[in-house]
Amino acid sequence: MQDVVIAASLVLAIVFSLSYGRGRVRRPSLLLGGAVILYLVAGCETFMHFVWEPSVHAPIRLDLFVIDLPLMALGVLVGLSSMIGGKATPN
């Protein structure tokens, strides 16, 4: 499950970052916010998986369901809301 969370959040964050770089979205600040949230989820989950988990005897990872998945959903919703509707701002 952790690998899926890391990979999905990184892929979506990269897609949002590339869309932000192209500048053809309605609200670029929302798109950047969604990408930042997803980068933070990927970074936190990578730390937990590779640093914290090996240092404990029996890790119980409730943070996946309580923190990571809701933050991923928030990041995706924020990023997609900047792409949907209205005219794109020209750069």
Q: Is 44 a member of any domain?
A: yes
The verdict on residue 26 lying in a domain is: yes
Q: Is residue 90 part of a domain?
A: no
Residue 18 belongs to some domain of the structure: yes
70: in domain = yes
Q: How many domains does the chain have?
A: 1
pLDDT of residue 90: 59
Is 38 within a domain? Answer: yes
Q: pTM (2 decimals)? A: 0.84
Rg (CA), the chain: 15
The domain of 57 spans 2-83
The answer on pLDDT for 88 being more than 80 is no
* Residue 35: per-residue pLDDT: 94
Give the Cα separation of 21 and 74 in Å (integer).
21
CB 80 within 8 A of CB 19: no
Is 88 within the bounds of a domain?
Answer: no
Average pLDDT score over the chain? 87
Average the pLDDT over 10-20 and give the result.
Answer: 92
> Could you tell me if residue 91 is inside a domain?
no
- pLDDT tens-digit profile of 48-65? 989 988 998 888 888 888
